[in-house]
Amino acid sequence: MKTTNKEVNTTLSLVMQPDLIPIAQPSQPAEAEPATQPAKRAATPRKINTDTYNKIGYTVALLGAAASAILLWLIGANYTLQGLQLFGINARGMEWWALPIVITAIELWLMPKRGSKPLIIIFFMIILAFDVLTSWYGLNLDLAGRTLPLATGLTLPSDGIPFHVFMIALSLAFAFVPEKLARVAIKEAGATWL
């Protein structure tokens, strides 16, 4: 490689005169050179509309809650019809299913509120007591002394105060949870899409 006199002279003049060499001082930050080309964006995967995806998932969950409410209501209604046998009434026909529907309507729309008339409160309490006691009776028939296949097997007692407190709590759940759960699920599903 051949060097010319001009290149040698330029190099020597820079060495001899160091103030001609641009050096960034430590107290002054070096200036960044502007980018000549814009940075390339990484390829992004196809975007999914997460709003619609979440709406569909939430609606499916609400439909599951509504289906669970219907199942609980059917179990409680069946216990109500079984309880009628205590009074000697054979409630086996389809027309008897109107009774649990009416009881549900009473529990939903006649629930005592501030300012309710005493007669409405008494009527509501009688219907609620009938619903809870018939469910308690049906639960006793179905669950007393039964071994449930949960984990290693759970055997329910056949009598005793804890058993009856548990059965009354379940009966109250059968009286109130299905209707409230179904109303909330249907209302939320409608609000999700409207």
Under a CB-based contact definition with an 8 Å cutoff, are residues 82 and 137 in contact? yes
DSSP string for residues in 80-147: HHHHGGGGT----SGGGGHHHHHHHHHHHHS---TT--HHHHHHHHHHHHHHHHHHHHHHHHHHTTPE
Q: What is the pLDDT of residue 74?
A: 95
Among 61-75, 124-138, 145-159, where is mean pLDDT lowest? 145-159
Among 28-32, 131-135, 156-160, where is mean pLDDT lowest? 28-32
Per-residue model confidence as pLDDT tens digits over 22-73: 555 555 555 655 556 666 666 666 655 678 888 899 999 999 999 999 999 9
* Residue 103, both tokens: 């009881």
Among 39-48, 65-74, 95-104, 115-124, where is mean pLDDT lowest? 39-48
User: pLDDT-derived band of residue 120, with 50, 70 and 90 as boundaries?
Assistant: very high
State the Cα–Cα distance between residues 95 and 80, nearest whole angstrom.
14
Q: What is the pLDDT of residue 6?
A: 59
Q: Tell whether the model's pLDDT for residue 133 goes beyond 90.
A: yes
Q: Rounded to two decimals, what is the model's pTM?
A: 0.67
Q: What is the pLDDT of residue 42?
A: 65
* Residue 9, both tokens: 């002279």
What are the structural domain ranges in the chain?
Answer: 50-193
- Mean pLDDT over 107-134 rounds to 93
